[in-house]
Amino acid sequence: MAGRHHKPATLWSENALQVLRARYLRRNASGTVIETPEQMLERVARAVSAAELVYGPASSAQFWEQRFHNMLASLDFLPNSPTLMNAGLRPGQLSACFVLPIEDTLESIFEALSNMATIQSSGGGTGFSFSRLRSRGQPLRSTGGMASGPISFMKIFDSATENIRLGGRRRGANMAVLRVDHPDILEFIDCKRGNRALSNFNLSVAITDAFMSAVTSGGRVQLRDPVGGNAGHLPARKIFDRICEATWESGDPGLVFLDTIQRANPTPNDGIIESTNPCGEVPLLPWESCNLGSINLTHFMGARSAQEPMDWERLRQTVHDAVRFLDDVITVNRYPLPEVQRATEQRRKIGLGVMGFAEACILGGIAYDSRAALAFADKLMKFIAAEARHASAGLAKERGTFPAWQRSRYAPAGLKLRNATLTSIAPTGTISLIAGTSPGIEPLFGLAYRRVGVLEGQNLVELNPIFARTLGSNAKARKVLEHVTRTGSLAGIRGGNTELQRLFVTALQVSPEWHVRIQASFQRYVDNAVSKTVNLPASASVEQVSSVYRLAHRLGCKGITIFRQG
How crowded is the C-beta side of 434, counted as CA atoms within 13 Å? Answer: 29
One DSSP character per residue, 454-473 reads EETTEEEEEE-HHHHHHH-S
DSSP 259: H
Q: With contact defined as beta carbons under 8 Å apart, do 184 and 218 qualify?
A: no
Q: Name the catalytic one among 38, 52, 65, 281.
A: 281
Q: Per residue in 289-314, is it b (16+ CB within 10 Å) or e — as a string?
A: bbbbbbbbbbbbbeeeeeeebbbeee
Q: With contact defined as beta carbons under 8 Å apart, do 427 and 345 qualify?
A: no
DSSP 122: T
Single-letter amino acid code for the residue at 376: F
Q: Name the catalytic one among 265, 277, 296, 333.
A: 277
Is 557 one of the annotated active-site residues of the chain?
A: no
* Alpha carbon distance 549, 543 (integer Å): 10
Single-letter amino acid code for the residue at 483: H
* Alpha carbon distance 527, 385 (integer Å): 8
* Alpha carbon distance 422, 348 (integer Å): 9
CB atoms within 10 A of CB 492: 9
Reference 100, options 79, 81, 116, 118; nearest CA is 116
* Alpha carbon distance 513, 164 (integer Å): 38
Is 277 one of the annotated active-site residues of the chain?
A: yes
Is 281 one of the annotated active-site residues of the chain?
A: yes
What does the CA dihedral 251, 253, 254, 255 come to, rounded to 10 degrees? -160
8 burial (CB, 10 Å; 0-12 / 13-18 / 19+) is exposed
For the chain, what is the radius of gyration of the CA atoms? 23
Q: What are phi and psi of 224, to 5 degrees?
A: -130, 120
- Residues 6 or more apart whose Cβ sits within 8 Å of residue 303: 309, 310, 311, 314
* Alpha carbon distance 105, 134 (integer Å): 9
DSSP H stretches of helix in 74-105? 81-86
Single-letter amino acid code for the residue at 289: S
- Residues 6 or more apart whose Cβ sits within 8 Å of residue 44: 68, 72, 79, 83, 84, 87, 88
Q: Name the catalytic one among 279, 290, 361, 557.
A: 279
- Residues 6 or more apart whose Cβ sits within 8 Å of residue 449: 461, 462, 488
Q: With contact defined as beta carbons under 8 Å apart, do 310 and 381 qualify?
A: no
> E strand or H helix at 89, and its extent?
none
Catalytic (active-site) positions: 277, 279, 281
